[in-house]
Structure 1
Amino acid sequence: MTNLKARSTAPADLEGGLASLRGDCARMAPRWTAPGHPGSPAVPPSRINGVDVPARSARLLDAMSEYGD
């Protein structure tokens, strides 16, 4: 026997706009759970001593116009 009352997991309107997306998210939100603990604390800038970048990577970035120019 076929269950005619089964719910579809697909969004109702695949070509919808922002309102449709917000509606889909609002319907899914009760199923999501927040993490029980916050992420790791930020490191204060005074504890950051420097970053080692391999010369090959530095040359690659220097050759890219949006980074080197």
Structure 2
Amino acid sequence: MTKLKAPVPVPVDAEGDLATLRGDCARMAPHWHAPDRIAALPVSPSLIHGVKVPSTSARLLDAMSDYGD
């Protein structure tokens, strides 16, 4: 009869757990800087040129009631 070995313990996550990750993020948060939100300015339709829409997309939009009716 073959003797079975004891189960191998599952290794703990080498990178840490969720609490460690949250702590790391909390320490890094002051170093992250988000730029101020810049409002997009409207563009004159006369400046928009060279836009090409594939015919399949145009047909799809035309078939939608929100756009085609």
Question: TM-score normalised to the size of structure 2?
Answer: 0.36
Question: TM-score normalised to the size of structure 1?
Answer: 0.36
